[in-house]
Structure 1
Amino acid sequence: MIIGIDDTDSNEGMCTTYLGALLLEELQEYGNIEALPLLVRLNPTIPYKTRGNAAVALKVKTDCPERVIAHVTSRIEELSRMECEKTNPGVVFIRENDYERLKPVLMSFLEEAVKDVIEIKKAKELISELGIISKGFKNGRGLIGALAACGAMLNPEKWDFTFEHLAYRQKEKWGTPREVDKESFFEADRETYPGTWDTVDLKNRLVVCVPHSGDPVLFGIRGENPEIVTKAASLIRAEPVERFAVYRTNQGTDMHLLQARSIAEIRDMHSYRLEGTISAAPKTLEGGHVIFAVRDRQGAEIDCAAFEPTKNFRLLIRKLVPGDRVLLSGSVTSGTLNIEKIEIKSLAPICREENPECPECGKHMKSAGKGQGFRCKKCGTHSLSKVMFETDRNLETGLYEVPPCARRHLAKPLAREKRRDIRLYPAR
């Protein structure tokens, strides 16, 4: 059977992936684990998420399904942070003889859960209509992610995937500062990039794969295959690890992005690719956020933002001018598109006036008097007017990304881009 679980954590602690790692070991008492566990990130703009909006799925071969159901349900009741208002766990169980029947409908549900907004009522109605074994706790919102994770497990060939090696702390360490050798993360990055990414942020000299909340995760290494993330994890020097798990994930895939044909169709709590022209020059607001406007072919406009956490990425954004053609990727909240990546497709020319150069000596001429043009005193040459020169923009067309310290889980890093038709920035 396939088991989908979601919403067991809180902003203060616990982690649904930790419960998944625990069950990977415990369920071997009842059968065999048949595949790598899945970590599925859902719509990143949902306001009632806890932290990373992730669900997990496990696949187990067992002769005692009822005992598996009882054990999993018991562990969710025991470990979930039920005291948190936002924590509303859900678990679903898909039996093997239902795989083919449920495969297409749950794949569709997965895509909707990653790209759109789903109400709890819809998940519960679907469970009832399809006869799926489930249990929701409190308002049962976790049933949404649990169903989506099962959809991913049922359709492994239909979505792009990456991997993450998650190491977990010993329980007595939870809530205390993590003891890690920061330099070892930079060493691991040097050894395994671009097979791994978002381990560190080189430009800002930050370790980004170590969380700061009170959850059980010690660190998480993301990459292209299980071998490379495991290699990187083996290079980390840190406090003792209680357990670890390698998850197959949809992280770093851009699975959340919808193609926006026009600004008119853009809605809050959704993520898009949007092509348009810069219509208002970037301005820096209090707090360091950089805002500018983009216009589509129909003349509609939307504000776009590089918020302060994007750090050096804002230097790039400040170089944009009206007339530049761009393709933006990002999520929309309160009518503003929060940029994750930007492809600069073409640059508008910026021209300035200068006094003409003397064709004889090459020096700039001086004004010969009001309405009399320009003259080189040395050579006696004359010109009637100033000349226009195109200014060097100090900017190139290409695809740029926010730094790792500001990257969202689902955003596809340039390390994974295989495009040959465009330059990728920043170079490492």
Structure 2
Amino acid sequence: MSSEITKMVIGIDDTDSREGMCTTYLCALLRDELSSFAQVISEPILVRLNPTIPFKTRGNASVALFIECDDKEKIIGHVTDKVSSMACLDNENTNPGVVFVDEEQFDSVSDKLSSFFKRAVKDVITIDEAKELASELNLEFQAFKNGRGLIGALSACGAMLDPDWDHTYEFLAYREKDVWGTRRSVDESSLFEADKQTYPDTWDTVDLVNDMVVCVPHSGDPVLYGIRGKDAGSVKKAASFVVSEPVERVCIYRTNQGTDMHLVSVSSISDIEEMHSYILEGEVCSEPVTIRGGHTIFMLKDVSGDVIDCAAFEPTKNFRELIRKLIPGDRVVVYGSVTENTINIEKIKITELSKAYDIRNPPCPSCGKRMKSSGSGQGYRCKKCSTSSDIPEKTEVKRDIVPGFYEVPPCARRHLAKQLLRFKNEEVPVFSGR
């Protein structure tokens, strides 16, 4: 039976697995299917949540649709049936959640859902908290299996109802179903041309420094490629240059990707918790070392003297060369997520460089030849002239690095990490990872 015309927000999360499917594809499919008996009001929302959560599927993304309809129950039934039939429910880590927010509830629930969304990007939220909030707000929802997807579904609804958060856009092209799981066919030269024609209005399509395509995934999901940029027109323009296999459907999302929404500023290492992301200023207090696997690590000290490891992991490629040039005494601001008491660096701002010196045995004042060390802590001595000295020769050397803002290359960029090209009014030079 039809009812009065009403607006509705639909949030969905956790329908995919590491092997296949994609929650954004399901959203794009639903947008097209619902259009036959409802009106889609705005572009869909794609939000990335806390990137450190260990039980996420792939990109920790949730989605939301905003529609107007005259048969709410038909919408709820269609969406629930589609999630049930297409989600990877056989996978133990796939636990979908679907939330429906009716127009009559918008005013009473918007603030709490918005707060929940922003917290879910930065913090660790339990399934019980999500279920309690959905029940407290009297929302209609469906939790499959343990219902972990309710966290993302509620968050996406909160994002849709809150216009005041930094956002970018992504154009996603999806493959025809009969080729899912096979090798993708996308002309790489067309992607480099798309980047050339639209950068800096679009970004992370390719990695010029490492000569790599970034926007084409390698998993078995339906996504063919994704173009990210500042607005819908820019990503659509870039996609027009792409030459590829047939595309089943496309969808442009408004998203919190590239916003640094996950980061929290702290002044003290004692404020840092596992599975959270931070901006932390401090002093380099150890020489960077490269360990097995190619990861480069140094220790950072805060004002209280506490220390924490900071790492440029192997996937950051040439960014590690910059990190290896740091020396004790340099002052930096690091941006990144914390796991196992180590900050995974996404960006670094070098604010002050310490002086570097070349230390050598001093010359003999009589014959001019270099003295020999007399042993640890025992100074230097010229065997020929019997002269001695306690002070080595110390010559300042020019550092092969300058203060500024540096980022990892596009091939290592995390979804939420803000690209330096989006930074404005910086007081130090900005060096793009491209």
TM (norm. structure 2) is: 0.92
In structure 1, the partner of 2:326 is 320
**4+ aligned runs moved over 6 Å, structure 1:** 354-357, 371-374
In structure 2, the partner of 1:311 is 317
In structure 1, the partner of 2:232 is 226
CA distance in 2 between partners of 1:319 and 1:46 (Å): 32
Letter in 1 for 2:101: I
In structure 2, the partner of 1:289 is 295
SS for the counterpart of 2:130 is helix
1:320-353 per-residue CA deviation (whole Å, 9 max, x = no partner) reads 1111101000000111110000000101101235
In structure 1, the partner of 2:145 is 138
SS for the counterpart of 2:283 is strand
1:148-181 per-residue CA deviation (whole Å, 9 max, x = no partner) reads 000000001x210000000000000100000111
1:94-124 per-residue CA deviation (whole Å, 9 max, x = no partner) reads 0011111111101110011000000000000
In structure 1, the partner of 2:37 is 30
Q: Summarize the alignment of residues 270-419 of structure 1 with structure 2, pairs less than 5 Å apart.
A: 270-353=276-359, 370=385, 388-419=394-425
Q: Are the equivalent residues in 1 in contact too, given 2:407–2:433 (CA < 8 A)?
A: no
In structure 2, the partner of 1:377 is none
SS for the counterpart of 1:280 is coil
In structure 1, the partner of 2:9 is 2
CA distance in 2 between partners of 1:291 and 1:9 (Å): 34
In structure 2, the partner of 1:244 is 250
Q: Are the equivalent residues in 2 in contact too, given 1:30–1:67 (CA < 8 A)?
A: no
The one of 261, 264, 274 equivalent to 2:270 is: 264
Q: Are the equivalent residues in 2 in contact too, given 1:355–1:366 (CA < 8 A)?
A: no
Runs of at least 5 residues in structure 2 that lack an aligned partner in the other structure? 1-7, 371-381
In structure 1, the partner of 2:178 is 172
> Alignment identity in percent?
58
CA distance in 2 between partners of 1:86 and 1:262 (Å): 35
TM (norm. structure 1) is: 0.93
Cα displacement (A) at 1:415: 1.8
Cα displacement (A) at 1:371: 6.6
Letter in 2 for 1:293: M
In structure 1, the partner of 2:96 is 89
CA distance in 1 between partners of 2:35 and 2:410 (Å): 37
Runs of at least 5 residues in structure 1 that lack an aligned partner in the other structure? 358-364, 375-384
Query: Do the aligned partners of residues 230 and 135 (structure 1) sit closer, same or farther apart at CA in structure 2, a change above 3 Å counting?
Result: same
Q: Are the equivalent residues in 2 in contact too, given 1:40–1:56 (CA < 8 A)?
A: yes
CA distance in 1 between partners of 2:222 and 2:108 (Å): 37
Letter in 2 for 1:349: K
Q: Are the equivalent residues in 2 in contact too, given 1:45–1:331 (CA < 8 A)?
A: yes
1:32-53 per-residue CA deviation (whole Å, 9 max, x = no partner) reads 1001100000000000000000
Letter in 1 for 2:224: L
Cα displacement (A) at 1:420: 3.6
Q: What's the RMSD between the two structures over aligned residues? A: 1.9
CA distance in 2 between partners of 1:238 and 1:415 (Å): 28
1:67-115 per-residue CA deviation (whole Å, 9 max, x = no partner) reads 0000000100010000111100000000011111111101110011000
SS for the counterpart of 2:284 is strand
Q: Are the equivalent residues in 1 in contact too, given 2:406–2:433 (CA < 8 A)?
A: no
